Each structure stands twice: as structure tokens, then as C-alpha cells.
Amino acid sequence: MDVINDEYYMSLALDLASRAQGQTGINPVVGCVIVKDGRIVGIGTHLKRGTAHAEVHALAMAGDEARGATVYVTLEPCSHYGKTPPCCDALIAAGAARVVVACEDPNPRVAGRGIAKLREAGIPVETGTLGERAKRLNEAFNKYITTGLPFVTCKVASTLDGRIAARTGDSRWVSGPEAREAVHTLRHRHDGIMVGVGTLLADNPSLTTRLSVPALHPVRIVVDSALRTPPDARVLQQEAEAGRTVILTTEGADASRRAALERTGAEIVPCGAGPKVDLAEAMRRLGEREIGSVLLEGGGILNGAMLEAGLIDKVILFIAPKIIGGPESPSAFAFAGFEK
């Protein structure tokens, strides 16, 4: 085992995988590099759910040179038939001499079986090379595949004194153009974007990805207990480039408002009897719809409720060198607060 070379080639494989973030839905991002006699002979990335995995692309490029080669793959090769055949079988048939895996697949259908199958075929397998980096790259997949719940990233742009708007409600712009560009990349990398109805009524956002390169558009999610969303809201416009819209509400919401919103093409999903949306149930409902990651761009009330309920996995905080002040200026997280 050559640790330096293993880490070098695994780093290349991880770079390949990272380029596909936002394209694979609830599938993980995976990269593969095949090396023979000190030369890269094949590379591959999983590009879209239901299509060939990274190992298959790399083997196709390597051709006959895969025999006797070392294969570097960022996630344990699958050993079961899903939407595509098992990658383990392809590596065995290609005659790989050695396989280096960054981390095991937490999917209960794999979970070490792929590595075991390769070893049973007489192929040495090394695990753990740049494993922590690989786990971070697929943090959303890792949570979703083991719990059925989406990985929630809360994005906030605040001032130095923790405010997200002035006391008048004006929030354009707390941050700058570089931060806004970064946020559109974050949107592209998540399956859904979630806001509360208060943010929707105040800003009327489109919740689409506006990048200079083609991008996939996440599902637009609105938390709206009383269905106050206007039928002409931008999130309900069904342009070709926009994602579909899901409105999370309560079982007691007004039936006529629900019908009006459903006529726009929105999916209305009751979550609890009310008066507020049951956020834990809402996350389960989103998971059932194969929304494996959510970018929370709510106001302070929704952010606070999600934080208090323990439903936020990660916070990305952009802090602007500004002070707004004022006890009535909204804060990033508005809730009763933890006792300690």
C-alpha cells in the first residue's frame, strides 16, 4: 500500500464526485479513478440517478487496461441490483487487481456487502483513504438513506449584531453579490428550498437557481399553516425552468384556499392538526417524496422553530460588516431560547 499515491488518486476521485453535486437527487455523488503502472487509464462520475455509476464509466474508459489495475472509488461499490447492475460484478469481471474505497456505503442494502464480495473474489480492498472527506461530501445522502429524513441546511445572512433585516422589514441587501452567488450554488446542490409564508409574503421570492451555468431547480417548499399564500405568488408560477411547488400546511386549513392553490399546480401537504405545521411530520412527508436535502431560507420564526425542534443539521451563516440595531429588527433565530 502506497499511502501518498492512494491519497493523491482518491483526492482526484473526490474532486470528480464533487462536480456532480446537485445532479444525483437522493443518490450519492461518487467518483472513480483507475490507475495502472502509474498512469490514469479511466475516470468516471455518477452523473444522474438511474444511470451508470462512476465505476462503470471509468471501466468503459479503461477498457482492457482495467485488468491488473488499482481502482479508487469514493464510496463502497454496490453489490445489489437497483436501477443499475452491481458495480462489484463489473470490477470483478474487469479483473481489477486492487480496490481502494474511501468509505463504506451506509445504505442498509450495501453496508459492507460490496467490500466483502470483492474480497471473496480475491481482490484486496483498502478502506478509509480520505474517508472523512468522502463522508462530508455525501452528508445529505448519509442521513437520508439511514433515516428517510432530509438533511436540512439553514442558510442565514445577518449583520454583526445578528439581524436579518431592518425594523422596517427592509433586507436588500444584508450581504453582497458574492454571497448571493454562493447561495444559488447551494440551491443547486439541494433537492428543495424551504421558506415560511412570512418570508413569501414579504419578499415574494421565485426560489429558483440563478446561475451563469445550467442548473437543476429544487422543489420549492412553503410552510404555510393557514394557506395565506396568494395564488399569483412567484413560487406558484410554472415556468419550464422552475421546480415544482409543495406547500406544507395543517389539516384544518381552509378548503377553498387549498383548492385555489391546487389549481396552480402546487401540491398541498397537510402536516398535523394545527394550529401550526408539525415540522417533524413535515420532514417525514418531504422524505417520502424523495426530497433528501433541504436548504432552509426562512425568516427568524421558521428558523427558530426548526432549530428548537432539532431539525437543522447544518448552519451556513454569512455575516456582513454592518450593524442595524433596534429591538424590533428581526433576528436570524426567533424562539423562546434554550435554558442553558
Beta bridge partners of 222: 195, 247
Phi, psi of 194 (to 5 degrees): -120, 135
Residue 185 CB: number of other CB atoms within 10 A?
A: 14
Q: How far apart are CA 251 and CA 190, in angstroms?
A: 27
**Grid cell 436570524 — which residue?**
332
| Backbone conformation region of residue 325, classed left if phi is above 0, alpha if psi is from -120 to 50, else beta | left
- Rounded to whole angstroms, how far apart are CA atoms 54 and 223? 37
Strands (E), 137-228: 151-158, 192-196, 219-223
Among residues 55, 76, 104, 297, which one is catalytic?
55
Active-site residue flag, 55: yes
Kind of pairing, strands 31-36 and 39-45?
Answer: antiparallel
Q: Which amino acid is at 73?
A: V
The DSSP annotation for 126-180 comes to: EE-TTHHHHHHHTHHHHHHHHHS--EEEEEEEE-TTSBSS-TTS--TTSS-HHHH
Residues 6+ apart with CB under 8 A from 128: 101, 102, 103
- Enzyme catalytic residues: 55
